[in-house]
Chains A and B, each alone.
Chain A
Amino acid sequence: MPPSVSGDFDKNVFINCPFDPEYTSLLRPLLFTILYVGMIPKIGLERSDSGETRINKICEMMRDSRYSIHDLSRLQSRRRNEFYRMNMPFELGIEYGCRQFGPDHFRNKRCLILEKSRHDYAKALSDLAGVDIKSHQDKPEDLILAMRDWFFETVGLRNIDSRTVIWYKFTDFTSSFYNTRKNQGYSDEDIEDMSVPEYMHFIQEWLKDQRVTAQGATVRVHAQTPIISTTET
């Protein structure tokens, strides 16, 4: 695998999560939190090129991202005849392989693994036994807490706002977003179904206006940490 071509390797956060509408309520605060702390989300939905295969796009984003977030909370089929979801563990496996077998700078890759409830993953992915996984209970404010703590503990961001502040800022953003889009003639459906790139664009514009990005936060470089640890406890 060739080395990263992106100059933002140390700020990019690859997102491995479901893309169905039911996950939107978690995906939007997830994107907001990454941008709020001054990092750059890399997600499969950020560009649409019919000539590019999905797996190639995913591998390129992983190659360009030092950090990654893997949400395994939707592995389980919930309805009769619904297929088991394997994309997320598959992509986590690629990330693990990068750290194990990739070039030297991939040894410093770090990831956050999320689950709905603590230890749920052990039933489906027992290879991860002993790995520190954070749970979000399907609640956006708990997701923000898990991410915020990981950005502090593992990514090394300092001067990072509390979960409460980030959550309240997110609700300020959603209010401003709703107001502005409504004034521009967007319907409720337009707002609900908005594509990820467009939604991310509006978050970035709002943060620019608010000047609240934690750009002053310093990133601490770890010399060596466990293979797939999510926190350094």
Chain B
Amino acid sequence: MTKDSYHVVPAPNGGWSVKKGGAVRASKHFDNKADAEKWAKEAVRSQGAEIYVHRRDGTVEQKSGPTRDPRPSRGKHTSQP
């Protein structure tokens, strides 16, 4: 994979892990998939990385991103008050 990516995958010993693409160690471990997905989305918010959410059998359920931080850059003009 050319872009940075994060993967929500079943952990071998139960629960769910979030790991970076190519890594052989998990970045973080969770008891359930929803919490893992939530953390992954927060983790990549400012990195422009892709997120792959996997099924129990390891195949890809969905891919999203790259996700950019929706907050405007400091000093940049916006129409928001």
Contacts and interface: CB of A to CB of B under 8 A. Distances in A.
A144 B10 CA distance: 13
A26 to B, nearest CB: 8
A144, A165, A176, most chain B CB atoms within 10 A:
A176
Interface residues of B, number: 20
What secondary structure prevails in chain B residues at the interface with A? loop
Interface in A1-29: 25-26, 28-29
A178 B5 CA distance: 13
A145 B24 CA distance: 15
A179 B63 contact: yes
Contact of A179 (B1, B54, B57): B1
B22 A172 contact: yes
Given A165-B24, A171-B54, A178 B60 contact: yes
B9 A168 contact: yes
B8 to A, nearest CB: 10
A68 to B, nearest CB: 23
A164 B14 CA distance: 12
Counting chain A residues whose Cβ lies within 8 A of the other chain, the interface size class is 20 to 34
Interface in A157-181: 161, 163-165, 167-172, 174-176, 178-179
B59 interface: yes
Nearest to A29: B58
Given A164-B24, A167-B58, A175 B5 contact: yes
B9 A140 contact: no
Contacts of B9: 167-168, 171
Contacts of A141: 10, 12, 58
A178 B58 contact: no
Interface of B: 1, 5, 7, 9-10, 12, 19, 21-24, 26, 52, 54, 56-60, 63
Interface of A: 25-26, 28-29, 139-141, 144-145, 161, 163-165, 167-172, 174-176, 178-179, 182
